[in-house]
Amino acid sequence: MKHQYKITYPNNVRLITPSLDYPMGEAPLVIDESGAALEKIAVKIGDDASTIVAKSADKIHLSILKKKNPVCG
């Protein structure tokens, strides 16, 4: 989740409108299919892709999510 702020000036008065953006989508991301608790998690959100690395009790999970290009798909 990422916060954003739109600034406008209706009637010469500054108006700041906050909003939330979901760069990886609004659907929940399942990291461990077995439902095991995650001990550590690291997330890097880039312009073209996002990377998630997580550690559960017995596994290390790596997920790379590429963003779709709205023009090319």
pTM, 2 dp: 0.59
> Rg (Cα) of the chain, in Å, rounded?
18
Flag whether pLDDT at 72 surpasses 70.
no
Alpha-carbon distance 65 to 48, whole Å?
Answer: 9
Q: What is the DSSP letter of 20?
A: E
The contacts found for 55-64 with CB under 8 angstroms, 24 or more apart, are 56/32, 59/32, 61/31, 61/32, 63/29, 63/31
Give pLDDT tens digits for 11-63: 999 999 999 988 777 888 888 888 889 999 999 988 888 899 999 988 999 98
Model confidence band, residue 70 (pLDDT cutoffs 50, 70, 90): low
Alpha-carbon distance 66 to 64, whole Å?
Answer: 6
